[in-house]
């Protein structure tokens, strides 16, 4: 417990949590299960699940609390320290390993309602991600995500590009392939000259061909460079999950990053400063404002893109294309997933497990699929999400789901020491993007990451 308090207190201070006992959510509550999530877009769907759960479990109800991403983790950290954490919360792989280490998650195998969860009920590989090194399950699969290219159809048309060509773009670290040619064509300077035309002014760009979501140090480049490093055949650690040796010193990784951040140096992608530094405005806002014509982003942002409007309030059209094919001969996408976890501080773990079992079951996941916000972990829920986007939004989202069907995904790196890794990676990746550090500095960063695990041993 002393180690838990020390680590979590440190995390809370770093996060600037601002928590006070007055706004804490009670965890006991006589039949009331406290459930936290961060995505406001998902809250209505989960409220429907909560209503159905209450009908099937007389005397139990679920109270849902939603907080924005940063506040969410700060309050959760404070809750673990002050015994005000919820019974159940939405867990993320970037946080999961450290929570397991700190002993704040209950093994679901040891709770009656969730003791019989079956890996085969979910998209392949998802359930395994939520098992600790002890083999116990600490999260029930909730949903999954992949990466694809969102683009502005108007900008593509104005550039004279056939949208069909976006379905088969290729890239390489030498000349960028057809992907970079397309990005250059979509880039326009303040004089109306495109990136592939003589006289292009890379220092005064009106529309970038490719948007940016920052340097990628906080999430292994998930919505930045991971689709490129993945399709070059690179993986972050020696094994996944629970790797302990890192591969940031490998030439393929450094060459890919040099090419990727080189897009900004060529004027095809916004600079670090233009997107707001390490608090980027986000690719969706860049496309909405006309700053970018195309950008990589996650499937969890589908609803966001379909609700974009122009200055007059008119909804903008958006298209989706798959990630480009890389030197490996395949395209690639990081395969990430969320899960629901029960805290060790819950005063009613069996009731909490009943709710987790319902969340991970077909009924709730089908409800979420029909909302079209995310791809539920169960295939039936995913099919409903695809159908909703096709029929209600007129949007083809198969560039996301095809990655799973075609087995071109790779898993989000799950390791211990996650907070320390992020603390080291963020400033170094930012420095490379800015141009203050060479890509070769990834080698010394790699040594630092490996040292974390040598000290732990």
State how many domains the chain has. Answer: 2
In a domain, 406, yes or no: no
In this structure, the answer to whether residues 215 and 342 fall within a common structural domain is no
How far is residue 270's CA from residue 291's CA, in Å, rounded to a whole number?
8
In this structure, the answer to whether residues 237 and 310 fall within a common structural domain is yes
In this structure, the answer to whether residues 238 and 173 fall within a common structural domain is yes
**pLDDT score recorded for residue 456:** 60
In this structure, the answer to whether residues 300 and 437 fall within a common structural domain is yes
Q: Is the pLDDT of residue 8 over 60?
A: no
Q: Is the pLDDT of residue 27 over 70?
A: no
In this structure, the answer to whether residues 204 and 330 fall within a common structural domain is yes
How far is residue 141's CA from residue 340's CA, in Å, rounded to a whole number?
7
In a domain, 7, yes or no: yes
Residues 359-418: tens digit of each pLDDT: 999 999 999 999 999 999 999 999 999 999 999 999 999 999 999 999 999 999 999 888
Average pLDDT of span 96-116: 95
Structural domain of residue 41, as residue ranges? 2-144+338-400
Boundary of a domain, candidates 374, 400, 426:
400
In this structure, the answer to whether residues 247 and 192 fall within a common structural domain is yes
In a domain, 51, yes or no: yes
**pLDDT score recorded for residue 311:** 87
Q: Cβ-count burial of 190 within 10 angstroms (0-12 exposed, 13-18 middle, 19+ buried)? A: exposed
Residues 309-334: tens digit of each pLDDT: 998 999 999 999 999 999 999 999 99
In a domain, 254, yes or no: yes
In a domain, 405, yes or no: no
In this structure, the answer to whether residues 304 and 342 fall within a common structural domain is no
The pLDDT-based confidence of 173 (bands split at 50, 70, 90) is very high
How far is residue 226's CA from residue 154's CA, in Å, rounded to a whole number?
27
Token output for 385: 């999400």
The answer to whether 121 and 98 are in contact (CB under 8 A) is no
Q: What is the pTM of this model?
A: 0.90
Which domain CATH number covers 343? 3.40.190.10
Q: Is the pLDDT of residue 29 over 90?
A: no
Residues 216-225: tens digit of each pLDDT: 999 999 999 9
In a domain, 59, yes or no: yes
In this structure, the answer to whether residues 153 and 253 fall within a common structural domain is yes
How far is residue 45's CA from residue 383's CA, in Å, rounded to a whole number?
16
Residues 142-171: tens digit of each pLDDT: 999 999 999 999 999 999 999 999 999 999
The pLDDT > 70 percentage for the chain reads 93
In this structure, the answer to whether residues 237 and 351 fall within a common structural domain is no
In this structure, the answer to whether residues 100 and 159 fall within a common structural domain is no
């Amino acid at each position: 417990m002393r180690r838990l308090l020390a680590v979590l207190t440190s995390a809370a201070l770093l996060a600037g949590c601002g928590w006070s006992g007055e706004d804490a959510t009670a965890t006991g509550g006589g039949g009331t299960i406290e459930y936290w999530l961060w995505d406001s877009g998902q809250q209505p769907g989960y409220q429907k699940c909560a209503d159905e759960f209450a009908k099937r479990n007389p005397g139990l109800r679920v109270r849902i609390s939603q907080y924005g991403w940063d506040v969410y983790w700060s309050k959760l950290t404070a809750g673990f320290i002050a015994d005000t954490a919820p019974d159940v919360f939405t867990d993320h792989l970037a946080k999961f390993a450290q929570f397991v280490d700190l002993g704040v998650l209950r093994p679901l195998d040891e709770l009656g309602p969730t003791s019989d969860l079956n890996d085969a009920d979910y998209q392949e590989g998802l359930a395994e991600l939520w098992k600790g090194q002890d083999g116990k399950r600490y999260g029930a699969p909730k949903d999954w995500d992949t990466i694809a290219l969102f683009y502005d159809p108007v900008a593509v048309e104005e550039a004279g590009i056939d949208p069909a060509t976006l379905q088969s773009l290729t890239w390489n670290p030498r000349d960028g392939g057809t992907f970079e040619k397309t990005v250059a064509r979509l880039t326009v300077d303040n004089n109306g000259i495109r990136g592939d035309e003589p006289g292009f002014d890379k220092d005064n760009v009106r529309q970038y061909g490719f948007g940016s979501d920052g340097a990628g140090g906080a999430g292994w480049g998930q919505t930045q460079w991971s689709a490129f490093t993945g399709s070059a055949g690179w993986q972050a650690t020696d094994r996944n999950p629970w790797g302990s040796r890192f591969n940031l010193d490998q030439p393929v990784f450094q060459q890919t990053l040099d090419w990727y951040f080189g897009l900004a140096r060529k004027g095809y992608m916004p600079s670090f400063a233009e997107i707001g530094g390490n608090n980027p405005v986000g690719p969706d806002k860049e496309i909405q404002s006309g700053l970018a014509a195309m950008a990589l982003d996650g499937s969890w942002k589908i609803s966001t893109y379909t609700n974009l409007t122009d200055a007059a309030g008119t909804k903008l059209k958006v298209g989706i294309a798959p990630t480009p094919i890389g030197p490996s001969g395949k395209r690639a996408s990081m395969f990430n997933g969320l899960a629901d976890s029960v805290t060790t501080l819950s005063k009613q773990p069996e009731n909490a497990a009943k709710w987790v079992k319902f969340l991970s079951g077909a009924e709730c996941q089908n409800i979420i699929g029909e909302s079209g916000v995310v791809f539920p972990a169960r295939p039936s829920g995913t099919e409903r999400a695809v159908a909703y986007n096709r029929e209600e939004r007129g949007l083809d989202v198969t560039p996301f789901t095809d990655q799973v069907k075609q087995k071109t995904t790779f898993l989000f790196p799950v390791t211990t020491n996650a907070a320390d890794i992020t603390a080291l990676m963020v400033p170094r990746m930012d420095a490379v993007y800015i141009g203050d550090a060479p890509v070769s500095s990834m080698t010394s960063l790699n040594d630092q990451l490996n040292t974390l695990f040598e000290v732990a041993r």
